[in-house]
Structure 1
Amino acid sequence: MYRLAPLCLSALSSLAMAAPPVTPPDPGIDALLQRYDGQVPGAAVLLLKDGQPVFRRGYGLAVVEDGTPVSPTSNFRLASVSKQFTAAAILLLAEDGTLTLDDPVKKWLPSLPAVADTITLRHLLIHASGLIDYEDLMDPADTRQVHDIDVLHLLEKENRTYFAPGNGYRYSNGGYALLALVVGKASGSDFASFLRQRIFLPLGMTHTLAHQDGVDDVPNRAYGYSEIDGRWERTDQSTTSAVLGDGGIYSSIDDLAKWDAALYDERLLRRSSLQQAFSPANRTDEPDVPYYGFGWRINGQALWHSGESIGFRNVIVRYPAQKLTVIMLTNRNAPEPYAMAIDIARRWLDAAQ
């Protein structure tokens, strides 16, 4: 995982003092993205300044087999970038008065073992639960995909944690799978439907969805690939790809622009809820990423999250004070795009001076 160097943030802060033009000069982004262009798995890149798309482009192929190009409407599996939507769903239910962030998770999922008695929804949001990683509990010989409910069943058998809840940090995909189940229980709906009705449709994210194989189809789908022995092979799904709460959302840079806009005002969540999501809530074990909020990594003025799963590498980086956002979605196993997103932001601000 790439981390934000302090010098990058300082440079961005100083460069942002100058108001950029509406149409910026060429910052050399095409050259930077050259490896994604052509007959290879590609990338979709969006740079937003003051809510406006100042760079918006697709590179390479969304479907290698038939030559379908990546476009701004191509839908990529977001992987862990999905976690900010899971967190937003919990915050919406808290605003409704349906639950509180300090509810014990066993209020909603009572089948969890006694060791989970003191784990709260807040602990799950900020990776402070100490839950055992569900991926380590899976049978490696079982090639069937697991779902959120299967994660619960795996954790039901584990009466141990890595640390006492609330007394540490360990990044937990399982915690967010449990949160998706809580959303379903508390809303009386299911997680995918709740996201669609309460987040995606109200924001006009009409092509974004928590994908369930056999239930829905992903429009304009980008498939994931890995480079193996010099050839690109489709590696779109793994045994954990059907878990929704930790990484099952598909979206495009065009739809994510609408999500980014909603994070500046109260069209979706109250300001107090957004402040909670963006506030440092738990110190991480990553030296250059000191804090985690609700579905967001926090480093000074930067709010960001990466998403890595088989065949996909994604990142969203936001600088709310500068109203600058870079989103990069890729359908390949490497490289991690975080450092490139930072470089894009720096280059654009350099060129805009």
Structure 2
Amino acid sequence: MPHRSAPAAAASLIALCLSLLSPGAATAAGHPEPPRDDSALQRRLEELVRTPGGPPGAIALLRDEKRTRVVRAGVADLETGREPRPHDHMRIASTAKAFSGAVALSLVQLGDLRLHDTIGKRLPRLPKAWHAVTLRQLLNHTSGLPDYSRSPEFIAILRADPHHRFDSRRLLDFIAGQPLLFRPGSRYQYSNSDNIAVALMAEAVTGTRYERLLEELVYRPLGLRRTSLPQGYRMPEPYLHGYAVSPTEPPEDVSELIGMSGVWASGGIVSTPADMTRFVRGYVGGRLYGPDLVREQRRWIPGGASEPAGPGRNDAGLALFRYTTRCGVVLGHTGNTAGYTQLIAATPDGRRSLTFSVTSQINQAQTPDLLRRMRAVQEDFVCALLKGKV
């Protein structure tokens, strides 16, 4: 396994703590010529992998009503050289927020929750200053909750022991002494705290652990068989190895660098490209709840970007983002964490989908040029999807 010296690894971890968990600003994607034939997507993905500092591996699944096309480049494991596969496990990062949205909206459909339910009503032990925040505001990132993952105490614990076992249900304690950043509903600001609160609300109204709710309300209905929410740092075999990449140093395998207890409902899920394809088709296509809730989910906040920004122009809904590209619109979510960057998207009816996964962390804070390049490649894939070139 390629690895760096201890000082380099420590520096990498510090950078990870300060930037992987903290959202950065969105950037505009470029607009290269769209792919003209089936081999163009393959070339574009290979170019991304060959870029200095680019990910060691990438895999994309394009699915329509008839078939799935798999496009891959690079390797799943630098040690063995094997290629990425649709059933390889991977960390899905903040696309896990779409899963907490699926749980919450399913409970709204069942009548256990309402979008106007407040933290004060459902989670009265949380600070009184937060009590007016609603479930809707948590789901569309207009809550004003400070981001616990930016807490100096949280970061210090993670620096000292990346495998530290946090109490996932007490993560908001790291910011309990802080007021809201702004009046709820008055502005958009992406925060990892929001989806922790969403999961806690779901547990409070059902008396059921969030992991069980995922199983009952999401995995089982959508046929997800290789998706889980672990607490530890181990990855299930087989998996896409995630790497910390530098243009000047050998890649470092960071697949198991961090335990998932410290991200939990905000980004801790492990899945596969095949399962994520099933998820995004069902989630966007409205299979988990009725049309009234689908309409509520799609009340867009202009300019609200996922983290990292997805292809084209980004607008935020309830645990869902709209990506308006030069070829049309898809809905989905993105995510990034140590060793992995994700995009899942589907047409509004869920009939066509794209799962796009790379094995390094790409975001605005650390790799802005690479992010612009990746978003342009993602847009090419979206165009192929929308033009029926799967």
State TM-score, norm by structure 2.
Answer: 0.75
2:38 corresponds to 1:26: yes
2:225 corresponds to 1:188: no
> Residue 152 of structure 1 corresponds to which residue in structure 2?
172
- What are the equivalent positions in structure 2 for 1:42-53 lying under 5 Å apart? 42-49=57-64, 51-53=65-67
> Residue 325 of structure 1 corresponds to which residue in structure 2?
353
Whole-Å Cα distance in 2 between the matches of residues 181 and 79 of structure 1?
19
Whole-Å Cα distance in 1 between the matches of residues 231 and 77 of structure 2?
20
Q: Which has the higher strand share?
A: 1
Note closer, same or farther for the CA distance 1:87–1:251 as it changes in structure 2 (3 Å cut).
same
> Residue 254 of structure 1 corresponds to which residue in structure 2?
274
> Residue 97 of structure 2 corresponds to which residue in structure 1?
83
State the AA in 2 paired with 1:165.
P
SS in 1 for 2:87: coil
Q: CA deviation at 1:54?
A: 4.2
> Residue 211 of structure 1 corresponds to which residue in structure 2?
230
Identity of aligned residues (%): 24
Q: CA deviation at 1:317?
A: 2.9
State the AA in 1 paired with 2:292.
S
2:190 corresponds to 1:171: yes
Note closer, same or farther for the CA distance 1:52–1:244 as it changes in structure 2 (3 Å cut).
farther
Structure 2 contact 46–74 (Cα < 8 Å) conserved: no
State the AA in 2 paired with 1:220.
P
State the AA in 1 paired with 2:377.
M
2:326 corresponds to 1:305: no
State the AA in 2 paired with 1:46.
L
SS in 2 for 1:202: helix
Structure 1 contact 41–332 (Cα < 8 Å) conserved: yes
Give 2:249's match in structure 1, choosing from 196, 218, 230: 230
Structure 2 contact 29–376 (Cα < 8 Å) conserved: no
Whole-Å Cα distance in 2 between the matches of residues 137 and 352 of structure 1?
45
Deviation per CA, 1:31-55, whole angstroms, max 9, x where unpaired?
1122538xx7312211123x34342
Deviation per CA, 1:104-151, whole angstroms, max 9, x where unpaired?
113222222121021111110011111112122132432344453232
Whole-Å Cα distance in 2 between the matches of residues 197 and 148 of structure 1?
20
State the AA in 2 paired with 1:29.
L
Deviation per CA, 1:170-214, whole angstroms, max 9, x where unpaired?
111111111122222222221122111221122111001122228
Structure 1 contact 131–162 (Cα < 8 Å) conserved: yes
Deviation larger for 235-244 or 105-114:
235-244
Deviation larger for 95-104 or 341-350:
341-350
State the AA in 1 paired with 2:41.
I
Q: CA deviation at 1:80?
A: 1.1
Q: CA deviation at 1:4?
A: 6.5
Give 2:123's match in structure 1, choosing from 93, 109, 112: 109
Note closer, same or farther for the CA distance 1:134–1:32 as it changes in structure 2 (3 Å cut).
same
Whole-Å Cα distance in 2 between the matches of residues 64 and 350 of structure 1?
34
SS in 2 for 1:327: strand
Structure 2 contact 281–352 (Cα < 8 Å) conserved: no
Give 2:147's match in structure 1, choosing from 121, 133, 152: 133
State TM-score, norm by structure 1.
Answer: 0.83
TM-align CA RMSD: 3.3
Count residues in correspondence.
336
Note closer, same or farther for the CA distance 1:268–1:240 as it changes in structure 2 (3 Å cut).
closer
Note closer, same or farther for the CA distance 1:115–1:240 as it changes in structure 2 (3 Å cut).
farther
